[in-house]
Amino acid sequence: MNPIAHQPDSLPAPGPGALAQSEALVAQLRAELEAAGGWLPFDRYMERALYSPGFGYYSGGARKFGLRGDDGSDFVTAPELSPLFAPTLARPVAEALQASGTRNLLEFGAGTGKLAAGLVNALDELGVEFDSYSIVDLSGELRERQRETIEAAAPALAAKVRWLDALPEQFEGVVIGNEVLDAMPVKLFANLGGVWHERGVVWRDEAFAFEDRPVTRSGPADHALLAEIETFGENYVTETHDAARAFIRTVCTMLTRGAAFFIDYGFPQHEYYHAQRAQGTLMCHYRHRAHGDPFLYPGLQDITAHVEFTGIAEAGVEAGADLLGFTSQARFLMNAGITDALSSIDPTDTTRFLPAANAVQKLLSEAEMGELFKVIAFSRGLTETLKAFSSGDRSHTL
């Protein structure tokens, strides 16, 4: 394969080492395609492109998180964008720990480690004692980066942080997942000529390509969902989120007492499956540029889809957890006190205040992350609503 065949003119080419890694993954995918008869469902392709051991985007060594494309990164998340994000999130986390009488934390996909470092420091400043902060991350490169970040930013608390290779069967405490659900593999479906097809991947003309087949393999849940959105007519493309729902069921089954917070971009079902969203939400990120080609440099770019939060809520409740709340990121952070944190910075100190204010504006603005990003939380053993959901809760929209 020549990966350059898919390269948009505006995107930089990777270096020789990265390109060799991508080509090795392409060879593996081609072998799997051949063994499967020449066609793979898209969710399998996405899983391999992101998580194939040693070669996938999240399991390989590519740099992912950063502020600019010229540093080799592909996107920035809230903890990297603003140092006020972690201390603000720490307040509802502390409230959940205290309300549940638990003393442990567990983070999925900890990125650079800035959120973990910020949370442990903020909890310490709040006087909230905890026994352990566990991190589940598939990337060895990111684990090392997280370790370095935490040891540098929170040296007195670094000994409490540990990395897990597998989920515990049971967990009491608070679970955190920031931009984790959007990286779960999705199935693609296309309504063509009034008939639902599953969109899969083939090898054609020395490159990966889409090929649609009439729906035969999806489960009953997908059949029911596709029947509901069929009224949107022909040539309508969308996703379903079996992997994310299964993940939430696993987490909420594991959680025996405490709370689980997930922060991500997406919509409730009635907004997600909408006639105006006719080409779905699948997108890719490479060097801080968004584009729509999931076959560009397999293993070197992020592939994501917006989260369908109604299905996420249903999965958690089906697992026996309570829905603690659902709201926009802006409302959640304001309820948790991010504007108070900003006001504590002297506005005459422009070198500190202006960058902090600009970052908070991006977190809260409807035109940036404030409305597109949502926060959903589940709980067991909590009887009171957290302050972060005290106003603007949208659980009724799910």
Q: What is the CATH number of the domain that holds 342?
A: 3.40.50.12710
pLDDT of 332 reads 98
Domain of residue 134, residue span: 78-183+244-270+307-397
**Could you tell me what percent of the chain has a pLDDT over 70?**
92
Query: Which of 139-143, 310-314, 351-355 shows the lowest mean pLDDT across its residues?
Result: 139-143
Q: Which amino acid is at 172?
A: E
Q: Is the pLDDT score of 290 beyond 70?
A: yes
The pTM score is 0.93
Residue 96 falls within a domain, yes or no?
A: yes
Q: Is the pLDDT score of 272 beyond 80?
A: yes
pLDDT of 218 reads 62
Once rounded to an integer, what is the mean pLDDT over residues 195-203? 95
Confidence of residue 160 (pLDDT cuts 50, 70, 90): very high
Query: Across all residues in the chain, what is the average pLDDT?
Result: 91
From residue 290, alpha-carbon distances to 55, 130, 273, 283, 296 in Å are 21, 39, 22, 7, 12
pLDDT of 76 reads 73
Q: Which residue has the higher pLDDT, 231 or 64?
A: 231
Once rounded to an integer, what is the mean pLDDT over residues 274-296? 91
For 191, which DSSP code?
Answer: E
Q: Is the pLDDT score of 126 beyond 70?
A: yes
- 224 and 218 in contact (C-beta within 8 Å)? no
pLDDT of 7 reads 54
Beta bridge partners of 259: 174, 379
Collapse the DSSP code of 20 into the 3-class scheme (helix H, G, I; strand E, B; otherwise coil) and give the result.
helix
Q: Which of 337, 340, 334 is nearest to 371 (CA)?
A: 334
DSSP per residue, 31-89: HHHHHTTS-EEHHHHHHHHHHSTTTSTTTSS---B-S-GGGT--B--HHHH-TTHHHHH
Residue 16 falls within a domain, yes or no?
A: no
pLDDT of 4 reads 41
Residue 155 falls within a domain, yes or no?
A: yes
Once rounded to an integer, what is the mean pLDDT over residues 90-102? 98
- Which residue bears the tokens 């009953």? 220
Q: Which of 91, 88, 175 is nearest to 128 (CA)?
A: 91
Once rounded to an integer, what is the mean pLDDT over residues 267-279? 94
pLDDT of 64 reads 53
Query: Which of 4-8, 147-151, 182-186 shows the lowest mean pLDDT across its residues?
Result: 4-8
Q: Is the pLDDT score of 71 beyond 70?
A: no
Rounded to 5 degrees, φ, ψ at 286 are -145, 120
Number of domains within the chain: 1
pLDDT of 227 reads 83
Query: Which of 32-46, 129-143, 318-332 shows the lowest mean pLDDT across its residues?
Result: 129-143
Q: Is the pLDDT score of 340 beyond 60?
A: yes
For 201, which DSSP code?
Answer: E
Residue 57 falls within a domain, yes or no?
A: no
Q: Is the pLDDT score of 244 beyond 80?
A: yes
Query: Which of 4-8, 109-113, 295-299, 343-347 shows the lowest mean pLDDT across its residues?
Result: 4-8
Confidence of residue 338 (pLDDT cuts 50, 70, 90): very high
Once rounded to an integer, what is the mean pLDDT over residues 107-113? 92
Q: Which of 277, 274, 268, 101 is nearest to 174 (CA)?
A: 101
Tokens of 271: 């907004």
Tallying the residues shown for the chain, one arrives at: 398
Alpha-carbon distance 373 to 339, whole Å? Answer: 18
With a CB cutoff of 8 Å and minimum separation 6, the contacts of 155 are none
Q: Which residue has the higher pLDDT, 356 or 59?
A: 356
Residue 84 falls within a domain, yes or no?
A: yes
Residue 157 falls within a domain, yes or no?
A: yes
Q: Is the pLDDT score of 3 beyond 60?
A: no
Rounded to 5 degrees, φ, ψ at 397 are -85, -10
Query: Which of 45-49, 55-59, 207-211, 314-318 shows the lowest mean pLDDT across its residues?
Result: 55-59
Confidence of residue 73 (pLDDT cuts 50, 70, 90): low
Once rounded to an integer, what is the mean pLDDT over residues 23-48? 97
Neighbours of 80 (CB within 10 A): 18
Q: Is the pLDDT score of 97 beyond 50?
A: yes
Confidence of residue 383 (pLDDT cuts 50, 70, 90): confident
Once rounded to an integer, what is the mean pLDDT over residues 285-294? 87
Once rounded to an integer, what is the mean pLDDT over residues 29-38? 97
- 176 and 108 in contact (C-beta within 8 Å)? yes
CA dihedral of 180, 182, 187, 192, whole degrees rounded to 10: 180
